[in-house]
Every structure is written in structure tokens, then in C-alpha cells.
Amino acid sequence: MHRPMVSVFLAVSLDGFIAGEGGDLSWLSPYASDPPEATGYAALMRETDAMVMGRNTYDAVLGFGPWPYEGKRVVVLTGRELRPRHGEERADVPLHALLRDLGKAGHRHVYLDGGAVVRDGLRAGLVDSLTLSRAPVVLGKGIALFDQDLPRATWRMHSTRSLPSGLVQTRYLANLAKTGDA
């Protein structure tokens, strides 16, 4: 069985941060006016049948209000104990093994969320679609999306557009041939 398609959909500051210091997401508030249908998020959620996220992201999502992933299989990659509130599952395995298992279980499209999980996916060449919504703000410090341990990879731009809130969204697709060192 082939692994499922893997998508990433994140907001990022001009200087490459997905969260401010201490995981602060308040800088995103001015850009929340774009409806999920307009951003492509609603379509992504219709297409995906499983979510894989890191523990910090999971904890943040629990604080947002109503559970946004009703009807989705949600797997939290963590070594810490997890007390599921909405049927989520805990996994403490490498991402590639989890994706293989999700494929064997019949899942066809997985949405990765959370800085460490996304970086693991990028590092291992497991991400097929990368949608970045750039906010016109410089944070200076925080949680960076990209780190220096990522291998070189060339992506193909699929689309780009401006959203009414001021976000500029670009969707990249992974090239079939990786350009990193062998």
C-alpha cells in the first residue's frame, strides 16, 4: 500500500515564524477575517481523512473553542500521556511509520500540522503539498517553520493569490526528483 498524500497548510510571518515567542498566535488575529472557503482550508478539510499533529499544536487547538476536526481521525504525535477528548489517538512512532500505517488503514490524504511534525515531514521528504499563507508582519522571534537541518529540496509553485485580509498564499507541490544530497 502506498502512503497517503500529505498536505501542510500554515500561516507564516514574513520572517518565517509560525508562532511568536511562547507559541503566541495573537499576531494572526488581523488575518482571521478570510473565510475558510476563500482560503482553501475548507476544501482541504473536505479532502483530508486524517490529521497528524504535534502535542503543542494539539494543546493549542484545544484552547480555540469547539473541536474543529469532527469526523476526522486525529493522531497526536507525542511521547507524553494523552487524555483524548474527541476520539483523538496518541502515537509515539516515527512519522514515516505512522503514515505507512495510515495508508494501510485506508487513509488517502493526511493533513500535517505543527512545527516539529511539519519539519519532520519536510526533512523526510514526505510532504506532497505545502500551502503557506504569508502574513505581512515581522515577528523577529518565535517558532520558525524552517530550520537549518532541513535538506535541500526544490518545490514547484502551483498557485499564488492575495487574500482580502492581506495574506499572500502560495501553494507548492513537491518535485518528484529530490534535489538534496544523496
Q: pLDDT at position 52, please? A: 98
Q: Which residue is listed with cell 500535517?
A: 112
Q: pLDDT at position 178, please? A: 47
The whole-angstrom separation of Cα 53 and Cα 85 is 15
Q: pLDDT at position 93, please? A: 96
The DSSP-derived string for 137-156 is ---SSSEES--TTSPP--EE
* pLDDT tens digits along 49-74: 999 999 999 999 998 888 999 989 99
Q: Which residues of the chain have pLDDT under 70?
A: 1, 176-182
CB 124 within 8 A of CB 150: no
CB 51 within 8 A of CB 111: yes
Give the type of residue at 16: G
The structural domains of the chain, ordered by start, are 5-174 (3.40.430.10)
Instruction: Identify any residues that bridge with 143 across adjacent strands, giving them in sequence order.
Output: 19
Spatial CA neighbour of 53 closest among 115, 143, 113: 113
Q: Rounded to two decimals, what is the model's pTM?
A: 0.91
Give the type of residue at 84: P
